[in-house]
């Protein structure tokens, strides 16, 4: 979903066309992404438009950047488990290689 939104702002209905799930399911996913700070929405008339969220930094920036803080948190969480599993996988590799 984030990859799709990286292509630019779109309406929710146009966005939903790219996925094989119902519109209520799309809304649930978008709500989670918005609460996590990945996306923002704006309602224009009856149409809800979504885009990647920008950090609340300088308003005068020529090019705003995507808020990467939530992605960094996910990366740190994955790294925690990756280090744990790397140790186990290395032991498994050594055990398999040492067997005749």
Distance CA 21, CA 74 (A): 25
Q: Would you kindly state where each structural domain of the chain is located, as residue ranges?
A: 1-67, 68-100
Question: What are 48's strand-pairing partners?
Answer: 43
pTM across the whole model: 0.56
> Which fold does the domain 1-67 belong to in CATH?
Arc Repressor Mutant, subunit A (1.10.10)
Contact of 25 with 14, CB cutoff 8 Å: no
CA atoms within 13 A on the CB side of 80: 6
Q: What is the DSSP string of 16-65?
A: HTTSSS-HHHHHHHHHHHHHTTSEEEEEETTEEEEEE---SS-TT-SS--
pLDDT of the chain, 100 residues: tens digit per residue:
888 888 899 999 999 999 989 999 999 999 999 988 889 999 999 999 999 987 654 444 434 456 677 778 888 888 888 877 888 888 888 888 987 7
Neighbours of 98 (CB within 10 A): 7
């Amino acid at each position: 979903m984030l990859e799709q939104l990286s292509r630019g702002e779109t309406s929710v209905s146009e966005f939903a066309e790219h996925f094989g799930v119902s519109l209520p399911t799309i809304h649930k996913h978008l709500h989670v992404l918005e609460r996590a700070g990945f996306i923002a929405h704006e309602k224009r008339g009856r149409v809800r438009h979504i885009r990647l969220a920008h950090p609340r930094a300088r308003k005068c920036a020529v090019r705003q950047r995507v808020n990467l803080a939530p992605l960094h948190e996910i990366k740190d969480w994955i790294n925690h488990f990756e280090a744990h599993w790397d140790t186990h996988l290395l032991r498994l590799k050594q055990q398999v290689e040492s067997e005749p």
